[in-house]
């Protein structure tokens, strides 16, 4: 099956948490992350689908929140699609992905291509 992703995924073990439906946040184990989403280890206590808040714990005092949607949450892992974030969150996410990429400049070049087509 061809990989149709428009954003590079990078491996990282950064600390993060997620909370869906106004429930408490749960620590999640990140497998890989991109500018468009993240794959974590399965988290059974979170709903299988729905809106949530994904929080990157960059330092003890710096956390950034990203609006996300659970795409799947099964034995293969919990996949979240990022649907909204403020400028500060995007700045930190971009730097995180660039830092862990083999080709940091390619990450910036990806921004010239839409990650999705509205209405589809």
Burial class (CB in 10 A: 0-12, 13-18, 19+), 97: buried
**Token code pair at residue 12:** 């990282």
pLDDT > 90: what percent of the chain? 53
pTM listed for this prediction: 0.84
**Cβ-contact 64, 56 below 8 angstroms:** yes
Partners of 31 in the beta sheet? none
Q: With bands split at pLDDT 50, 70 and 90, how would you rate the model's confidence at 50?
A: confident
Options 2.40.10.220, 3.40.50.1700, 3.40.50.720, 2.30.40.10; which CATH number does 12-108 get? Answer: 2.40.10.220
* CA count, 13 A, side-chain hemisphere, 48: 3
pLDDT tens, residue by residue, 1-26: 345 556 788 999 889 999 887 777 88
Cβ atoms within 10 Å of 56's Cβ, excluding its own: 21
| Structural domain boundaries in the chain | 12-108
Q: Is the pLDDT of residue 51 over 80?
A: yes
């Amino acid at each position: 099956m061809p990989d149709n992703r428009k954003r590079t995924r990078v491996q990282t073990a950064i600390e993060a948490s997620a909370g869906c439906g106004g429930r408490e946040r749960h620590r999640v184990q990140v497998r890989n992350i991109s500018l468009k989403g993240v794959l974590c280890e399965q988290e059974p206590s979170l709903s299988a689908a729905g809106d949530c808040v994904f929080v990157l714990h960059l330092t003890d005092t710096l956390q950034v929140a990203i609006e996300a949607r659970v795409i799947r949450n099964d034995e293969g892992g919990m996949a979240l699609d990022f649907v909204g974030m403020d400028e500060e969150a995007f700045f930190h996410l971009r730097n995180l992905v660039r830092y862990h990429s083999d080709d940091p400049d390619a990450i910036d070049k990806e921004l010239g291509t839409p990650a999705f087509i509205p209405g589809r």
